Amino acid sequence: MHAAEFKTLREALGLSISTLVKVIDVDERTIRKWESGKKKLPQGVIDSLVDVDTLVNKTVEALFETFKQSAENSVVLYRFIEEEDLLTTYPEFEGLPMMTYGVVLQRLKLKLNALDVSVSIEYYKD
């Protein structure tokens, strides 16, 4: 993976450099060097980011199938306020920022809109 592809994927997943530092436990300067092409990206780091993208895509597809089968003209997607609520529903998102689930919602909304389904996103309230 080229440095620019890595940066694009990180941004597409809603991960800031400071957030990625926490997710993969690497110094911020190192990430900047990877993204500028000054330092080679380790395969393990590439794999970690690709794994997050895979998780997001699998979550989008699972939700899409659920909503597609319901044949509704409009749906409400719920964004979690509390990380605890997100992790109760999606424990596989442990260690990722809440923003990553926001990426799931946005990708899902685009897929549903392509089927002429009206989508609104609201905050989840218990």
| pLDDT for 126 beyond 80 | no
**Up-side HSE of residue 102: CA atoms within 13 Å toward CB?**
13
Q: What is the pTM of this model?
A: 0.88
Q: What is the DSSP letter of 7?
A: H
* pLDDT attached to residue 70: 76
| pLDDT for 29 beyond 90 | yes
In CATH terms, 3-123 corresponds, of 1.10.3980.10, 2.60.40.10, 1.10.3100.10, 1.25.40.10, to 1.10.3100.10
* pLDDT attached to residue 22: 87
Inter-axis angle of helices 28-36 and 17-24, to 10 degrees? Answer: 110
Place of tokens 């809440």: 98
What's the pLDDT tens digit per position in 41-79? Answer: 999 999 999 999 999 999 999 999 988 877 678 999 999
Name the 3-class secondary structure at 74.
Answer: strand
Residue spans of the domains in the chain: they are 3-123
Structure token pair of residue 16: 């800031």
What's the pLDDT tens digit per position in 79-113? Answer: 999 999 999 999 999 989 999 999 999 999 999 99
* Residues whose CB is less than 8 angstroms from the CB of residue 24 and which lie 6 or more positions away in sequence, other chains included: 45, 48
**Average pLDDT over the chain, rounded to an integer:** 92
